[in-house]
Amino acid sequence: MPVQPRFLRCLRLAAIVVGLIACDAAFAVDALALRGALDHDPYTTAREATQRAAAARSRGDQKVLLESLTQVAMAYNLVGDSVSAQPPMVEAQHLATELRDLDAEALLAAVEGEIKAADNRLADAHRAFEAALDAVKRSGNRDTEAIVRSQYGWFLARSMQRHQDGALEFEAALSHFERTGNRTREAELRYMSASLYDRLRDPKRGNAERTRALELINPAHQAYLAATIYYELGAVAQSNENRGEADRALRRSIELSRSIGDKLGVAFAELTLADVLIDQGNAREAVDTLRRAGPVLAAGQNTLAVAGIDVRLADALAMLRDPEAWAALARAKPVLMATETVQNESTYWRAEARVNAAFGRYEQAYAAVQRQLRAQQRLFDTQQIQALTELSVRYETQRREAENTRLKLAEQLKDATIQAQQARQLALAGGLAAAVVALLSGVILLRRQVAQKQAFRSLALLDELTGAPNRRAVMQFAESVQARAAASTHGAVIALLDLDHFKRINDSYGHDVGDAVLRNFYKAAASAIRPDDMLGRAGGEEWLLVMPVAQPGAEQAVFERMRSAVAHMPADGLPSGLVVSFSMGVARLRPGETLTHVLRRADLALYEAKQAGRDRMAMAD
């Protein structure tokens, strides 16, 4: 019959069309396979993937080319070689867009985020991670999502100092890999989480996570990952002065890194091993170890790591009474002090004190020790504020849980009241008694929940709308900085920020849009400040920025980074083309100056910035 062949031809044609559409839309890189291939030897994997990419390019195989380029970018990013990672990343990003591969887009955006974070371009890094999360959300691939969220969590914790937020990302990714039985990815998440628990002041859990991570993998097949975990174990043991354990773990890390030709991994482990050797009094081996590691780190153009070599070399050479210690110390000083981080400043003064003492310059050694102690005190103050901020996040979470419990209890109380009324109407004595008991119990529990809610609110150090440190938190930090400003060699900076024309935004587009602007402003501005700085909401659209250690000109650099980040932030509810800006008044803290006085000077500078046309920074006299 003629109808059947025509029907079959149409069916076959439809199948072909559907197949073509499926082939066009369904291709996606295998995120787990790409990431898993890097666990043993990312260097060899990168070379092999580069060769596959060249072959695929020559024969026009775009899918294999995308897969190979993505793996090359991931491999070089993993080992910290951003220079080699960028070209394949950029080429692969264009290809992923062309092929509509959302998984590749997500993985590559996460690589871009890590590269920019390493370059301290935190606002750009945050935007890249947001793009990665958006792509993986549209993809729906849970494996890719877990990989990206683990990288995002690392960025939040390490670069943004948002430890609690980082922990939530880690826990979500870890839960996925535990459910799917992926032991290697679970191990990676556990060792990453361990660093976070160290920062959250839970070292016991941190060590437990590292130990569990090693149990989940086989170093013979995942040498790079195992070497990284052993390095972390050694570094933590050294910081806890457990030198025997540190020595064993670091030497095992070096052994594994050498087995796969990871020269950079060997050098970083030797850098930390040198600390152990110096503390053990083994200066000669420390010098030899540092001189092996130095050229490798210098070749990688890691100036901070090279300065770390020099400052340790100065210490070890001084123990041997070798005058070359002075030259090493002089090389380290400008690099460590220019970072404007209290930790690096403390490291330098400690080395200067020990070198001076070794050569009998006790007065200079004493002065360096005093500087080191003052730097350590500032570091302690900063860590205390960060700890309080983390604690306030936990209180806020518990407060919300208490609020939810209170609302549920109110519903139960309402039900109990209705039951009591019904019981009264029916004159059922037994039922009435039960309802009264339930009502009384509900009232007692409700009072407890309200009291708990009020207690949590009184302890909170975060602004409820934006999640930023609130006025009390940032003022406490400013007071601690002011109390120790005289001890700083670079001075402290207090700045007041105010969103330009914010009232106009509220009046024109509504308070919901205004609230979104405040939330997005904090998210963008906080991504651009330095790790030791604090930005808090002083009230309304006004913000307070505290920079504990700032060389002249540092405030301008921070302002420009913040300005760029805010200009590119999401504009929820605002018309296209409307860019949010802010003005900033800056005052450098003077010796003996009160916090009230420096805030007044910053406020006058803010007024000058507003009068000069807004969207700018002004310095106080």
Give catalytic residues, as residue numbers: 541
Strands of 617-619's sheet, edge to edge? 534-539, 542-547, 493-499, 582-588, 617-619
For residue 615, give every residue at least 6 positions away whose Cβ sits within 8 Å of its Cβ, in sequence order, or none. 500, 563, 581, 582, 583
Closest CA to 378 of 485, 263, 523, 235: 485
First to last CA, the chain: 98
For residues 387 and 454, give the distance between their C-alpha atoms in angstroms, rounded to a whole number: 21
Q: What is the C-alpha separation between 525 and 540, in angstroms, rounded?
A: 16
Q: Are 272 and 234 in contact (CB under 8 A)?
A: yes
- CA dihedral sign, ordered 285, 288, 292, 294: positive
Largest Cα span, the chain? 110
Contact (CB, 8 A) for 40 and 156: no
CB atoms under 10 Å from CB of 135, counted, come to 24
SS3 content of the chain, % helix, strand, coil (to 5): 75, 5, 20
Phi and psi angles of residue 617, each rounded to the nearest 5 degrees, phi first: -115, 140
Question: Within 13 A of 24's CA, how many CA atoms are on the CB side?
Answer: 7
CB atoms inside a 10 Å sphere around CB 620: 20
Which pair of structure tokens corresponds to residue 206? 């941190």
- Name, in order, each residue with C-beta under 8 angstroms of 202's C-beta and a sequence gap of 6 or more: none
Hey, is 583 helix, strand or coil?
strand
Q: Quick one: 513 exposed, middle or buried, by C-beta within 10 A (0-12, 13-18, 19+)?
A: middle
Residue 68: both structure tokens together? 């190979």
Tokens 């909170």 identify what position? 460
Residues 511, 499: Cα–Cα separation, whole Å:
15
The residues with which 498 forms a beta bridge, in sequence order, are 542, 583
